[in-house]
Amino acid sequence: METLKTLGIAGFLFFLIKGLLWLLLLVLVAKGVVSKERVERFKKRLQGPFKRR
């Protein structure tokens, strides 16, 4: 049971940090610090061989 608790906390923290990073990225794009084109290139690079059709 202790292992499940640890995994739950780790999962929660992972998604919390991931969500905060996405919000930070959106704010940076809105402020003009990061261009939309750069974000699109980064997203395409992350998709790699798993591109959607």
- Average pLDDT in the 39-52 region? 80
- pTM for this entry: 0.65
| Residue at 45 is within a domain | yes
Mean pLDDT of the chain: 88
Using CA atoms, how far apart are residues 50 and 43, in angstroms rounded to an integer? Answer: 11
| Residue at 6 is within a domain | no
Q: Provide the CB-side half-sphere exposure for 44 (13 A, CA).
A: 7
Check: CB of residue 23 under 8 Å from CB of residue 14. Answer: no
| Residue at 10 is within a domain | no
Check: CB of residue 36 under 8 Å from CB of residue 29. Answer: yes
Q: Number of folded domains in the chain?
A: 1
Residue 9 has pLDDT above 70, yes or no: yes
Domain that holds residue 45: 21-53
| Residue at 26 is within a domain | yes
